[in-house]
């Protein structure tokens, strides 16, 4: 029996890299059929009124640690992932990479065991941020659990991880070429972060296949006129893409504007969002607009991707269309997910509908209203 198509009408649709009025998005099961004139909506279609809002691809977040009231590293279980995924999808993020920061390896192993048997249509896999970082730029990561990138230990980790591990943040200056190649051969997306790399070390890492930079400007060598460091190498690279946290706390809005002007389509959004935690390796305390450790060290954001898009438009002056690309098609392209981050025929029917106040009103995950 054929599934009843869904037509989302009365909204401004972000498709084909532009905002389109007077049309509808047609869904058939888990896929998008296309963007069609309202007059062409099939008679049997279920019509969903967007109430004048924006109809956009579901957001793609490649770095977050928790959602709802759960921090995955503090409770690396399927029930925690369920709550995290439910909260994220309701906020408009329909694809996410759960992240584990530097932790004891038994926590990482428990997370991998959970992920091996867990499936959710919004979960892309694991982003491991550490433990192979530079202690000089550790940020909130505990020095005690940061490790030297020893090849045999990394091989064992990769064997245990299987296909669950999709992305890893590393300090490139601590890796030799063979170990970077080992990670790349496993299919990992490598991102430079928590790094004190010089300009030359960072450029060498990009040349060897490091594709991205983690939370641009945070926990990395500074941009200096005598040593441009990792930020300067990112600007000068022709290929490296950089994630950025647009909450006005982790990075000043004017720094975001400068970065956007220089990086263009190589800059994309992450939330770096955490949740309150008083057990486990990290104690995250919510202080009104951010999370910190007990000593005041900035430890994560309280952002949603919808809020990050709104900040890009309202505070940085980025056009809405480009802010949406930063939250959808750019991160999807980095991970090679051609079916995500766009409203196009054959794409996964992940959609968010939000109003002029940037409040998410409707979400579709694989064509199913949430």
Q: Return the pLDDT at 128.
A: 98
Residue intervals in the chain for CATH 2.30.40.10: 6-56+342-369
Furthest C-alpha separation in the chain: 67
- Residue 82 annotated as catalytic: no
Q: Return the pLDDT at 309.
A: 98
**Residue 1 predicted with pLDDT over 80:** no
Please give the Cα distance from 122 to 81 (Å, whole number). Answer: 11
Exposed/middle/buried for residue 104 (C-beta within 10 Å: 0-12, 13-18, 19+)? middle
Query: Which residue in 4, 190, 187, 167 sits closest to 95, CA to CA?
Result: 167
Average pLDDT over residues 296-308: 92
What 3-state DSSP class applies to 321? Answer: helix
**Residue 167 predicted with pLDDT over 60:** yes
Tell me what percent of the residues of the chain surpass a pLDDT of 70.
99
Q: Return the pLDDT at 283.
A: 84
**Residue 303 predicted with pLDDT over 70:** yes
User: In the chain, what is the straight-line distance between the N-terminal and C-terminal CA atoms, in Å?
Assistant: 23
Average pLDDT over residues 298-307: 93
Please give the Cα distance from 56 to 343 (Å, whole number). Answer: 7
State the average pLDDT for the chain.
96
Tokens at 256, concatenated: 């975001």
Tell me whether strands 6-9 and 46-49 are parallel, antiparallel or unpaired: parallel
What 3-state DSSP class applies to 353? Answer: strand
Q: Return the pLDDT at 280.
A: 77
Average pLDDT over residues 88-92: 98
Tokens at 366, concatenated: 């694989």
- CA Rg value for the chain: 20
**Residue 24 predicted with pLDDT over 80:** yes
Per mean pLDDT, which range of 53-57, 275-279, 320-324 is the poorest? 275-279
Tell me what percent of the residues of the chain surpass a pLDDT of 90.
90
More confident residue, 293 or 239: 239
Q: Return the pLDDT at 2.
A: 63
Out of 272, 278, 289, 338, the active site residue is 272
Q: Is 256:244 a contact under the CB 8 Å cutoff?
A: yes
| Domain made up of 59-334: CATH architecture | Alpha-Beta Barrel (3.20)
**Residue 33 predicted with pLDDT over 80:** yes
Tokens at 37, concatenated: 């004139």
Average pLDDT over residues 181-205: 98
Task: Give the model's confidence band at 4: pLDDT under 50 very low, under 70 low, under 90 confident, else very high.
Answer: very high
Average pLDDT over residues 312-340: 98
More confident residue, 215 or 282: 215
Average pLDDT over residues 168-173: 98
Q: For the domain 6-56+342-369, what is the CATH superfamily, name and number?
A: Urease, subunit C, domain 1 (2.30.40.10)
pLDDT in tens, 133-165: 999 999 889 899 999 999 999 999 999 999 999
Q: Return the pLDDT at 367.
A: 97
Q: Return the pLDDT at 278.
A: 81
Please give the Cα distance from 358 to 338 (Å, whole number). Answer: 26
Phi-psi label, residue 22: left if phi above 0, alpha if psi -120 to 50, beta otherwise: left
Average pLDDT over residues 247-262: 98
Whole-Å CA distances, 147 to 90, 131, 235: 37, 5, 28
Q: Return the pLDDT at 139.
A: 87
């Amino acid at each position: 029996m054929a599934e009843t198509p869904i037509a989302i009408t009365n909204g401004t649709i972000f498709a084909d890299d532009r905002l389109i009025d007077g049309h509808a998005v047609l869904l058939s099961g888990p896929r998008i059929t296309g963007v069609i004139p309202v007059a062409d909506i099939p008679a049997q279609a279920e019509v969903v009124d967007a109430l004048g809002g924006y109809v956009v691809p579901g957001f793609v977040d490649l770095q977050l640690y928790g959602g709802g009231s759960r921090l995955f590293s503090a409770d690396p279980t399927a029930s925690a992932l369920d709550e995290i995924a439910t909260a994220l999808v309701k906020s408009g993020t329909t694809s996410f990479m759960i992240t584990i920061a530097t932790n004891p390896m038994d926590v990482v192993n428990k997370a991998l065991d959970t992920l091996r048997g867990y499936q959710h249509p919004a979960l892309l896999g694991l982003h491991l941020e550490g433990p192979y970082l530079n202690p000089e730029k550790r940020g909130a990561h505990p020095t005690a659990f940061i490790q030297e990138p020893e090849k045999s230990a990394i091989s064992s980790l990769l064997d245990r991880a299987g296909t669950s591990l999709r992305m890893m943040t590393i300090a490139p200056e601590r890796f030799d070429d063979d170990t970077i190649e080992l990670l790349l051969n496993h299919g990992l997306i490598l991102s430079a972060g928590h790094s004190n790399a010089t300009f030359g070390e960072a450029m060498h890492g990009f040349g060897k296949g490091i594709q991205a930079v983690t939370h641009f400007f945070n926990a990395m060598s500074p941009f200096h006129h005598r040593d441009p460091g990792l930020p300067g190498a990112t600007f000068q690279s022709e290929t490296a893409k950089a994630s950025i946290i647009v909450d006005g706390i982790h990075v000043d809005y004017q720094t975001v504007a400068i970065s956007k002007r220089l990086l263009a389509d190589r800059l994309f959004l992450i939330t770096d969002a955490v949740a309150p935690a008083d057990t486990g390796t990290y104690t995250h305390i919510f202080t009104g607009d951010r999370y910190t450790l007990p000593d005041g060290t900035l430890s994560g954001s309280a952002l949603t991707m919808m809020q990050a898009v709104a900040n890009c438009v309202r505070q940085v002056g980025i056009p809405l269309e480009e802010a949406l690309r930063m939250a959808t098609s750019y991160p999807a392209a980095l991970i090679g997910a051609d079916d995500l981050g766009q409203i196009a025929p054959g794409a996964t029917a992940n959609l968010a509908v939000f109003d002029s106040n940037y409040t998410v009103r409707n979400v579709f995950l694989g064509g199913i209203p949430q």
